[in-house]
Amino acid sequence: MRRVVFNQKGGVGKSTIVCNLAAISASEGLRTLVVDLDAQGNSTQYLMGARAGEASPSAANFFEASLAYSFKPVDLASFIHPTPFENLDVMPAHADLDALHGKLESRYKIYKLRDALIELEATYDAIYIDTPPALNFYTRSALIAVERCLIPFDCDDFSRRALYTLLDNVKEIQQDHNDALEVEGIVINQFQPRASLPAKLVEELVTEGLPVLESRLSSSVKIRESHQHAMPMIHLDPRHKLSQEYLALHRELAG
Ligand SMILES: Nc1ncnc2c1ncn2[C@@H]1O[C@H](COP(=O)(O)OP(=O)(O)OP(=O)(O)O)[C@@H](O)[C@H]1O
Ligand SMILES: [Mg+2]
């Protein structure tokens, strides 16, 4: 199973959701890989903590190698590193992803990630891709490389308007490049059930027929502690409300 968490809007919870779902997947015994395509490296940092800086070669080296792919097949395993968590590996991000972007786009390497992930499916039961807040070469590569797309929504009115453009963009990729791509749904993040505006926004999405998932993720300051300690919620505090909500989301996505 290959899944991307995508929203071109920044700060909606992509990295946090990728890492928490991947940590649950791994804790349930599935061999799980996180591919971090965001030069900010938030998922890499979250899962590897102090060791994030040593994680080399990275996703940037993978794409760099893909520029010369026809001459030298790349050894995919060399770009993947273990995390402190059992069954959970990461292909780390690197700041060089930004510098490589233009070259990759002009050389039309958009299918290289898909080919690599299909090869890696022999080793991993679940692959999660974290993406940057943009519709660029990396997010397009990811949308082409996966079977499922999960869209976080942060209960903000600007995000609501952007959702329609986002769904159109995904549809275009489905039509032009990846007919196996399925939008799993919109996951409501940082939900505050007692505030009236978020509840109203979510209700509108449902009324408009958008694929809103049942699971809601609450807003909690515990997430900061989780990032700071580089411990996904399931490891930091498995009984916490938010941990239970990530578990419920993981179950909902598994069907
Ligand atoms: N459930 C939550 N409760 C409280 N804060 C949250 C929650 N989920 C995410 N956040 C906070 O929201 C911010 C953005 O989260 P995150 O980095 O996961 O989003 P992102 O979409 O990956 O951002 P970017 O687009 O910059 O990559 C972070 O400061 C994080 O701590
Ligand atoms: Mg992020």
pLDDT at position 73 is 67
Instruction: Give helix 59-66 / helix 112-120 axis angle, nearest 10°.
Output: 120
Q: Tell which atom from ligand 1 comes closest to the C-alpha of 132.
A: 27
What is the CATH classification number for the domain harbouring 213? 3.40.50.300
Structural domains in the chain (count):
1
DSSP secondary structure letter of residue 97: H
**Stretch 189-215: mean pLDDT, rounded?**
92
> Which of 9, 138, 223 most suits a substitution to test ligand 1, by most atoms within 8 Å of the C-beta?
223
| Listed residues: CB within 5 A of ion ligand 2 | 14-15, 42
pLDDT tier for residue 136 given thresholds of 50, 70 and 90: very high
The pLDDT tens digits of the residues spanning 17-66 come to 999 999 999 999 999 999 999 999 999 999 999 999 889 999 999 999 98
Ligand number nearest CA of 43 is 2
Share of the chain above pLDDT 90, in %: 86
**Stretch 223-233: mean pLDDT, rounded?**
98
Beta-bridge mates of residue 34: 90, 128
The pLDDT tens digits of the residues spanning 122-132 come to 999 999 999 99
Over 60: is that where the pLDDT of 231 sits? yes
> Which of 8, 9, 16 most suits a substitution to test ligand 1, by most atoms within 8 Å of the C-beta?
16
Q: Is the dihedral of CA 231, 232, 235, 238 positive or negative?
A: positive
Ligand number nearest CA of 241 is 1
SS3 248: helix
Q: Per the structure block, which two tokens stand in for 236? A: 């930091």
Question: Cα separation of 214 and 184, whole Å?
Answer: 12
Range of the domain at 75: 2-254
* Whether 215 contacts 208, CB under 8 Å: no
CA of 17 relative to ligand 2 center, distance in Å:
9
pLDDT at position 54 is 87
| Least confident range of 41-50, 66-75, 138-147, 155-164 | 66-75
pLDDT at position 74 is 77
CA of 71 relative to ligand 2 center, distance in Å:
33
Question: Cα separation of 215 and 249, whole Å?
Answer: 5
How many helices (H) and strands (E) the chain has is answered by: 11, 8
**Stretch 69-73: mean pLDDT, rounded?**
61
CA of 125 relative to ligand 1 center, distance in Å:
26
**Residue located nearest, by CA, to atom 13 of ligand 1:** 11
| Ligand 1 pocket at CB < 6 A | 10-16, 38, 40, 42, 133, 189-190, 217, 219-220, 223-224, 227, 242
Ligand number nearest CA of 13 is 1
Pairing assessment for the beta strands 81-82 and 88-91 based on DSSP bridges:
antiparallel
* Whether 202 contacts 212, CB under 8 Å: yes
Helix (H) or strand (E) holding 165: helix 157-176
pLDDT at position 182 is 97
SS3 215: strand
**On the CB side of 41, how many CA atoms lie within 13 Å of its CA?**
23
